[in-house]
């Protein structure tokens, strides 16, 4: 498996549980070195009035995640919470809503949504009972700890070749790094060049989307934001981790490869946080940012 983020780790864990011996190679020395290294990530099912296959697939994936990670959250090996997530409505009047899905999602009016969030909100939304948040880096580490999985960091694969036993993986100098009968590519930023090196078509073009999140460390939060008790999403998202830090984001800039944290993007996150919850942290509070890319 090339790529030690969430996708690669999930694949490695599933293959190992099926009885295979799996090696995960990553160019970073530690797993989850890119977007999967964010301090927290939200997850929830999907509801839609038409309930098409796209919605059903995402809902099945989210419910699968909640079942699989629940024991790890309970034993503390993966920080997180699976006790509900509020997604505020942005799709128009209630008449256009999908029906409630018992045990999965139910509609809350503004008063009930405020009670669930722990602070006043000005509109209703969906309460996803099996949604919540997870520490993605810890989740990756837990998946890679599965017996039969071996992680090797600091190994950047730049070329693929067909070999007698399957695939030969080479580094930039052409030195063979590994050989395997089955190969999983879970490194989207390198996918086109890797496939081209093996004379394979890449398929639909991949596009990078830069995302910057904002994080206010624990302590210092006052007012309603200090009472936020459930993750809230909509146009943007907000999450308070157990130690008291506040996470909000995130931007979405296509084909932007700037790795630096930008004050303008932080201002954008603050604006969306204010629009979502009606409040933002005091401008004098210190904050940090993190940049990653979706594909």
pLDDT in tens, 21-61: 999 999 999 999 999 999 999 999 988 888 889 989 999 99
In sign, the C-alpha dihedral spanning 159, 171, 137, 264 is negative
Q: Which two tokens stand for residue 6?
A: 């969430």
Distance CA 205, CA 207 (A): 7
> Please, what's the b/e burial string for 253-267 (b: 16 or more CB within 10 A of its CB; e: otherwise)?
beebeeeeebeebbe
Distance between CA 136 and CA 36 in Å, rounded? 6
> In sequence order, what are the beta bridge partners of 170?
159, 176
Query: What Rg, from alpha-carbon coordinates, does the chain have?
Result: 21
The yes-or-no verdict on residue 195 having pLDDT over 60 is yes
Q: What is the mean pLDDT of residues 67-88?
A: 96
Over residues 79-115, the pLDDT tens digits come to 999 999 999 976 555 556 778 888 899 999 999 999 9
The pTM of the full predicted model, rounded to 2 decimals, is 0.93
Q: What is the longest distance spanned by two Cα atoms in the chain?
A: 65
pLDDT at 158: 95
CA pair distance 230, 118, nearest whole angstrom: 7
pLDDT digits (tens, 9 = 90+) for 173-182: 999 999 999 9
Phi/psi for 167 (5° steps) reads -130, 140
Tokens of 248: 């909000």
Q: Is the peptide bond before 250 cis (omega within 30 degrees of 0)?
A: yes
Q: Write the DSSP assignment of 184-240 as a string of letters.
A: -B--GGGHHHHHHHTT----SPP--EEEEEEEEPSS---GGGGG--S-EEESEEEEE
What is the rounded distance in angstroms from the CA atom of residue 182 to the CA atom of residue 55? 30
DSSP assignment, residue 161? E
Burial 176-193 (b: 16+ CB within 10 A, else e): ebeebeebbbbbbebbee
Q: pLDDT digit string (tens) for 206-252?
A: 899 999 999 999 877 888 999 999 999 999 999 999 989 999 999 99
Give the position of tokens 């830090």.
245
Angle between helices 136-144 and 53-75 (to 10 degrees): 80
What is the distance between the alpha carbons of residues 273 and 50, in angstroms, rounded to a whole number? 29
Residue-by-residue DSSP string for 136-155: HHHHHHHHHTSTTEEEEES-
Residue 173: how many other CB atoms lie within 10 Å: 7
The answer to whether 193 touches 179, Cβ cutoff 8 Å, is no
pLDDT top residue among 49 and 284: 284
Tokens of 234: 């909509």
Could you give the 3-state DSSP secondary structure of residue 133? strand
pLDDT of residue 163: 85
Asked if pLDDT for residue 185 goes beyond 80, the answer is yes
Task: Quick: pLDDT tens for 121-163.
Answer: 999 999 999 999 999 999 999 999 999 999 999 999 999 999 8
Does the structure show a pLDDT above 60 at 269?
yes
């Amino acid at each position: 498996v090339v790529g030690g983020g969430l996708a690669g780790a999930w694949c490695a864990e599933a293959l190992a549980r099926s009885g295979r011996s799996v090696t995960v190679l990553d160019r970073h020395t530690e797993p989850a070195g890119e977007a999967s290294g964010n301090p927290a990530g939200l997850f929830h099912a999907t509801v839609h009035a038409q309930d098409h296959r796209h919605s059903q697939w995402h809902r099945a994936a989210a419910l699968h995640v909640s079942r699989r990670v629940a024991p790890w959250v309970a034993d503390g090996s993966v920080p997180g919470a699976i006790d509900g997530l509020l997604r505020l409505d942005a799709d128009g009047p209630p008449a256009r809503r999908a029906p409630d899905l018992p045990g999965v999602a139910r509609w809350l009016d503004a008063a009930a949504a405020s009670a669930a969030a722990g602070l006043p909100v000005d509109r209703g939304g969906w309460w996803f009972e099996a949604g919540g948040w997870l520490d993605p880096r810890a989740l990756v580490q837990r998946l890679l700890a599965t017996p039969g999985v071996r992680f090797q960091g600091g190994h950047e694969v730049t070329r693929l070749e067909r070999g007698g036993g399957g695939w030969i993986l080479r580094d930039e100098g052409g030195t063979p790094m590994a050989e395997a009968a089955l190969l999983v590519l879970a490194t989207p930023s390198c996918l086109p060049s890797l496939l081209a090196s093996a004379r394979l078509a890449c398929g639909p073009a991949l596009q990078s989307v830069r995302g910057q999140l904002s994080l206010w460390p624990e302590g210092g939060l006052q007012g309603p934001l200090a009472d936020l008790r459930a993750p809230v999403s909509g146009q943007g998202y907000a999450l308070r981790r157990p130690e008291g830090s506040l996470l909000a984001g995130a931007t979405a800039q296509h084909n932007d490869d700037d790795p630096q944290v930008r004050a303008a993007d932080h201002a954008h996150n603050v604006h969306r946080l204010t629009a979502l919850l009606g409040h933002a942290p005091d401008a004098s509070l210190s904050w940090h940012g993190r940049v990653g890319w979706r594909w």
